[in-house]
């Protein structure tokens, strides 16, 4: 379960301060599929990054399975992230010097596993996202949508209990977008993975258990079905 309490984030641009998040409260139970929507600039990516412990809040707390991760040391945070969270960045953040398959394997190896069985799962995941024949390609040899699917396979690799993704279907055509969404939902159902997805995609949001809308750094609406 993830609890967000009175979360604020302020950025200092040098000339002025911008309040990006203005006191957000949320509880996301285990196994929920939550979509975060809202206009560009409303604070969606910032909220997701704070929930994943990728950035520290200005004030407030993020509590992950009972542990307050706000203000935790980077080493401890990295260990928690490695065990609990798969994260797909809006900009993919693949490592340019590694192939698709090596990119997918990396977090698994960083968690202290040997490459052995990992390679089999990495290949299965690349096949599942439709890139079985691209596993030896480097990121520059892949389109934006293909890189996005490699980033998803990488996030699935360590079987994280929580998967967070920023616009996971944003650069995919509708067929690939639907396919990725099916994969995410299958993961949510089969492995009880908590899914928190930032999206503009109405189809994706319509299939979520819950839709949280942000506006100007605050929750504008929060609807469950
Ligand atoms: P969204 O993902 O909803 O489009 P973001 O969370 O990326 O929104 O950003 C929310 C607002 O905060 C935007 O106006 C953005 O320009 C601003 N912002 C984000 N990060 C910073 C930063 N490091 N410094 C200054 N402003 C920022
Ligand atoms: Mg964003």
Pocket residues for ligand 1 (CB within 6 Å)?
Answer: 11, 13, 18, 20, 38, 40-46
- Answer whether residue 110 shows pLDDT above 80: no
CA–CA dist 57, 192 (Å, integer): 28
pLDDT at 92: 86
State the total domains in the chain: 1
CA of 115 to the centre of ligand 1 (A): 38
What predicted TM-score, i.e. pTM, was given to this entire model? Answer: 0.91
pLDDT at 190: 83
List the domain range (segments joined by +) for residue 196. Answer: 2-224
Half-sphere exposure at residue 100, Cβ-oriented, CA atoms within 13 angstroms: 28
Percent of the chain with pLDDT over 70: 99
Closest residue by Cα to atom 21, ligand 1, is: 11
**pLDDT grade for 59, boundaries at 50, 70 and 90:** very high
Looking from the CA of residue 166, the nearest atom of ligand 1 is 2
CB 44 within 8 A of CB 196: no
Taking all residues of the chain, what is their mean pLDDT, rounded to a whole number? 92
State the DSSP H helix or E strand holding residue 155, giving kind and residue range, or none if neither.
Answer: helix 144-157
Pocket test for ligand 1, best of 7, 20, 216 (most atoms within 8 A of CB): 20
**pLDDT grade for 134, boundaries at 50, 70 and 90:** very high
- Answer whether residue 115 shows pLDDT above 70: no
CATH number at residue 15: 3.40.50.300
């Amino acid at each position: 379960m993830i609890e967000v309490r009175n979360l604020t984030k302020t950025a200092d641009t040098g000339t002025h301060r911008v309040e990006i998040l203005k006191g957000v409260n949320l509880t996301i139970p285990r196994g929920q599929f939550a979509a975060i929507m809202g206009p560009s600039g409303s604070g969606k990516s910032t909220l997701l990054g704070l929930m994943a412990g990728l950035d520290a809040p200005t004030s407030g707390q993020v509590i992950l399975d009972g542990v307050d991760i706000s203000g935790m040391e980077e080493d401890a945070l990295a260990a928690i992230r490695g065990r609990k969270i798969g994260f797909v960045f809006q900009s993919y953040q693949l490592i340019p010097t590694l192939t698709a398959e090596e990119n997918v394997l990396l977090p698994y190896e960083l968690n202290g596993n040997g490459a052995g069985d990992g390679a089999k799962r990495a290949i299965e995941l690349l096949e599942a996202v439709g890139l079985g024949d691209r596993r030896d390609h480097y990121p520059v040899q892949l389109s934006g949508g293909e890189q996005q699917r490699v980033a998803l396979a990488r996030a699935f690799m360590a079987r994280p209990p929580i998967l967070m993704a920023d616009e996971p279907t944003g650069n995919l055509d509708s067929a690939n977008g639907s396919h990725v969404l099916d994969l995410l939902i299958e993961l949510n159902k089969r492995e009880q993975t908590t899914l928190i997805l930032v999206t503009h995609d109405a189809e994706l949001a319509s299939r979520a258990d819950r839709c949280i809308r942000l506006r100007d750094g605050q929750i504008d609406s929060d609807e469950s079905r």
